[in-house]
Amino acid sequence: MISGLFDSATPYNGQKYSHLKKECVSQGRLFEDPEFPPNSKSLFYSQRAPSYIQWKRPGDIVADPKFFDEGASADDFSQGSLGNCWFVAACSCIAEDKKLLKKIVPDMEEQEWSKDNKYAGIFHFRFWQLGEWVDVVIDDYLPVDNSGNLVYVQSKAKNEFWSALLEKAYAKLFGDYESLKGGQAKDAMVDMTGGVGEGFELADVCKSDEDKNKLFKILKKSKEHHSLISASIRATSQHDMEAKMSCGLVKGHAYSVTAVKNIRLGKGLMSYFNREKIHMMRCRNPWGGTEWKGAWSDGSVEWQQVSSSEKKDMGLTFDEDGDFWMTYEDFLCYFTSMDICHMLNTSFISLSKSYREGKALGEWKRGKCGGCSNYPSFLQNPQYKFDVDDAEVEVMISLEQWDGRINRDKGRDNETIGFCVMKTDRNRKYRMHDTLEKVQTTSYSNSRNQFVRLTLTEGRYCIIPTTFEPNVQCKFLLRVYGNSDPSLKELYLDEPPPPDSGIFGIGGKKPKVAATQITVIRAEGLEVQDRDGFSDPYVVIFCEKKKERTRIIKNNINPEWNERMTFYHRKPHEDIDVEIWNYNKIRDELLGAFVIPMSDRTRYSSAHHIQKFDLFGKGKESSMKKPGCLWLKILHTKDMDKI
């Protein structure tokens, strides 16, 4: 058995594999699944099944059925008559990775046909569904044609059935086989790994040579981390779907990308001294034999430029198996879109690059689903804050909705979703009621997943996941990845809760009756403290024993922060202290200070008031003028809905 996380997979529809198999063995019968019976309803939701389709168990199809024949490989997945190349391409990516395979095929040895395993016509597989692993039980009745051949996915070895059984379990998850028609490879890859899906149009991300090189590095690094990659060529019409091009590629068809490499050119000693390398991609067609016919195709003259040792390292073969190499340039010339399932290392103890993950399971609810920013109800959507602790870092954000294909029989599908990332207060703890600087707004689509990479500076940010239109009911999973813990948390409350009066009804605190919002805009003409002729300033604000600070800006005496902080008051008449410091490794130095007089707070109450403050010393030197000034924007209010 697989230990750890996957032992706790939830039985789908309450069907527990071990209990059902034990029951069948004790009664001497083969399992027949009442939740997914061998009939037309398990095949189609919109049409009647063709009369030639029958259901047979593997033992009635071949004399010696096997779960695996010489292990799992990409050859085990050849697409049948169902338009689910997206699923087949994903399976091909996973088949040869033993670690990933164990996630979806538990009890591998026990599921093999043998007397010792007490075959009972029952099998099970595991899939990741919105943050949870579910265990799907099936019987082994499979759809076949008049000749007794499998109608859908089949292995190159006619007596191997694990791929056909896996497809059946996936079809059960979504109601029927027809629901697997059409999809995105990244969704299937995520369902079988729990990874993070990213999809993009190549024309949008490869507008320059710099873009192309950046993408190649991402793809190469992704493969090194055992991520899964698929690619396809857009079909411009229904007639174009799965149409074969003169170059051997097929439109509207999902290919798995099995390798991304820099290939060294030259033979013998020249290959060691030759610095010329070429970017290469290895792809696989789920159909099998149909391959690329251009440069660097199987047996082409271009391979004469590569040494035998280099070919061996590449595992190069020229079999008619659907595998082929092509240059990265040709790949970009023909393929139009790509899907990546990132396998991100989140282990705290690791020698390789690791990420810190923040995740939250949420739900859009009717009445609390505000729609996109076109609607005034936008801020009624769920809100999540996360932190960036580094000066500048890449952050990856993924929004995954509940897969709507299970509702296709009801005429529904995925919702149109997206999300907005905006800068928020450094100390934001409650829901936002106004919008600050928008860092990124995704496009809206009915794709199951939305993904972005952002380079962010130190600070606190707010993610607002939304449907395009308001009043939609749907579950979602939000995940954030960065170098440090993003501390992802949902903002539930609109304002500080009323004070607790205590268990015994005594000693309650005075409620917070007002709030002051302070935006640190910029400073001018600060005192030079460092030998390089600059300073490394940051601002600290003190309000009712609360202390908040901005990020440090290196080498600047005229820094711009544009960072906001919100303070909730019990004593709104108390003054607010502001200090500017110069950061040093050993001891920070004061650059100046001043007081915001709250006795005159009414001047800040009508609107955001922008004011310049001169800098002074502190303590005994509080009357001493210091170089420079600080610009602040201030709003003081008793209306918590304004902030």
pLDDT tens, 347-359? 766 656 678 999 9
The CA distance from 482 to 388, in Å, is 8
**What backbone phi and psi angles, to 5 degrees, belong to 205?**
-105, 0
Q: Which pLDDT value is given to residue 310? A: 85
CA dihedral sign, ordered 142, 143, 149, 153: negative
- 163-189 b/e with 16+ CB inside 10 Å = b? bbbbbbbbbbbbbbbbbbbebbbbbbb
Q: Which pLDDT value is given to residue 345? A: 84
374 belongs to the catalytic site: no
Q: Which pLDDT value is given to residue 582? A: 96
Q: Which pLDDT value is given to residue 235? A: 82
**Residue listed under structure tokens 């640190």:** 520
Binned at pLDDT 50, 70 and 90, residue 315 comes out as confident
Residue 493 in this model has a pLDDT that exceeds 90 = yes
Tokens at 143, concatenated: 């759809």
DSSP state string for 168-183: HHHHHHTTSSGGGSS-
267, 307 Cβ separation under 8 angstroms: yes
The CA distance from 67 to 165, in Å, is 9
279 belongs to the catalytic site: no
Could you give the 3-state DSSP secondary structure of residue 588? coil
> Half-sphere exposure (CA, 13 Å, Cβ side) for 559?
26
The CA distance from 414 to 417, in Å, is 9
Angle made by CA atoms 440, 446, 448, in degrees to the nearest 5:
85
CA dihedral sign, ordered 600, 604, 609, 612: positive
Residue 97 carries which side chain, given as an amino acid letter? D
Query: 220 exposed, middle or buried (CB, 10 Å; 0-12, 13-18, 19+)?
Result: middle
508, 497 Cβ separation under 8 angstroms: no
Q: Which pLDDT value is given to residue 383? A: 97
Q: Which pLDDT value is given to residue 5? A: 40
The least confident of 73-82, 106-115, 396-405, 584-593 is 73-82
Q: How many CB atoms lie within 10 A of CB 29?
A: 11
Q: What is each CA distance from 600 to 136, 461, 504, 611, 634, in whole angstroms?
A: 67, 32, 39, 13, 12
Q: Which pLDDT value is given to residue 417? A: 97
Write down the mean pLDDT value for the chain: 89
Q: How many CB atoms lie within 10 A of CB 326?
A: 24
Per-residue pLDDT of 94-134, as tens digits, reads 887 888 898 899 988 889 988 788 999 999 999 999 999 99
Q: Which pLDDT value is given to residue 49? A: 87
Residue 342 in this model has a pLDDT that exceeds 70 = yes
Would you give the DSSP letter of residue 150? B
Q: Which pLDDT value is given to residue 140? A: 97
Please report, to the nearest 10 degrees, the dihedral formed by the alpha carbons of residues 369, 372, 378, 379 taken in order. Answer: 90
The CA distance from 294 to 262, in Å, is 19
The CA distance from 577 to 632, in Å, is 13
Q: How many residues does the chain have?
A: 643
CATH of 356-490, one of 1.10.287.620, 3.40.50.10470, 1.10.630.10, 2.60.120.380: 2.60.120.380
Q: Which pLDDT value is given to residue 266? A: 79
The CA distance from 537 to 562, in Å, is 14
Question: How do 514-524 and 337-342 pair as beta strands?
Answer: unpaired
- Comparing 86 with 196, which gets the higher pLDDT? 196
601, 635 Cβ separation under 8 angstroms: no
CATH of 197-342, one of 3.40.50.10280, 3.90.70.10, 1.10.3470.10, 3.30.930.10: 3.90.70.10
Query: 246 exposed, middle or buried (CB, 10 Å; 0-12, 13-18, 19+)?
Result: exposed
In angstroms, how far is the first alpha carbon of the chain from the final one? 53
**What backbone phi and psi angles, to 5 degrees, belong to 39?**
-145, -175
Angle made by CA atoms 345, 351, 355, in degrees to the nearest 5:
30
Estimate the share of the chain in helix, then strand, then coil, as percent rounded to the nearest 5: 20, 35, 45
466, 418 Cβ separation under 8 angstroms: yes
Q: Which pLDDT value is given to residue 190? A: 95
Residue 13 carries which side chain, given as an amino acid letter? N
Tokens at 300, concatenated: 């082409």
Per-residue pLDDT of 437-478, as tens digits, reads 899 999 999 999 999 999 999 999 999 999 999 999 999 999
Q: Alpha-carbon Rg of the chain, whole angstroms?
A: 30
- The average pLDDT across 332-358 equals 84
Per-residue pLDDT of 386-417, as tens digits, reads 999 988 899 999 999 999 888 887 778 899 99
- Comparing 56 with 297, which gets the higher pLDDT? 56
In this prediction, what percent of the chain has a pLDDT beyond 90?
64
**Residue listed under structure tokens 């000034």:** 629
- The average pLDDT across 189-214 equals 93
Q: Which pLDDT value is given to residue 351? A: 58
The CA distance from 409 to 44, in Å, is 9
The CA distance from 591 to 578, in Å, is 11
Residue 428 in this model has a pLDDT that exceeds 60 = yes
Closest by CA position to 435, among listed 448, 424, 419, 450: 424
Active-site hit among 24, 85, 341, 372: 85
414 belongs to the catalytic site: no
Residues near 289 by beta carbon (within 8 Å), at least 6 away in sequence: 320, 321, 322
Residue 601 in this model has a pLDDT that exceeds 80 = yes
Q: Which pLDDT value is given to residue 202? A: 95
CATH topology of domain 514-642: Immunoglobulin-like (2.60.40)
DSSP state string for 94-116: HHT-HHHHHHHS-STTTTSSSTT
Q: Which pLDDT value is given to residue 349? A: 60
The CA distance from 65 to 57, in Å, is 9
Q: Which pLDDT value is given to residue 591? A: 97
The secondary structure element, H or E, covering residue 162 is helix 162-173
Beta bridge partners of 11: 135
Active-site hit among 24, 91, 93, 253: 253
Residue 556 carries which side chain, given as an amino acid letter? N
Closest by CA position to 508, among listed 517, 516, 497, 518: 497
Q: What is each CA distance from 470 to 268, 381, 465, in whole angstroms?
A: 66, 9, 12
445, 489 Cβ separation under 8 angstroms: no
Active-site hit among 84, 285, 381, 582: 285
**What backbone phi and psi angles, to 5 degrees, belong to 514?**
-155, 170
The domain spans of the chain are 4-194, 197-342, 356-490, 514-642
Would you give the DSSP letter of residue 309? H
The CA distance from 552 to 536, in Å, is 6
Residue 233 in this model has a pLDDT that exceeds 60 = yes
Closest by CA position to 435, among listed 372, 512, 388: 372
The CA distance from 37 to 632, in Å, is 69
The CA distance from 125 to 128, in Å, is 10
DSSP state string for 455-479: EEEEEEEEEEEEESSSS--EEEEEE
The least confident of 251-265, 501-515, 570-584 is 501-515
Per-residue pLDDT of 11-27, as tens digits, reads 999 999 999 999 999 99
Could you give the 3-state DSSP secondary structure of residue 252? coil
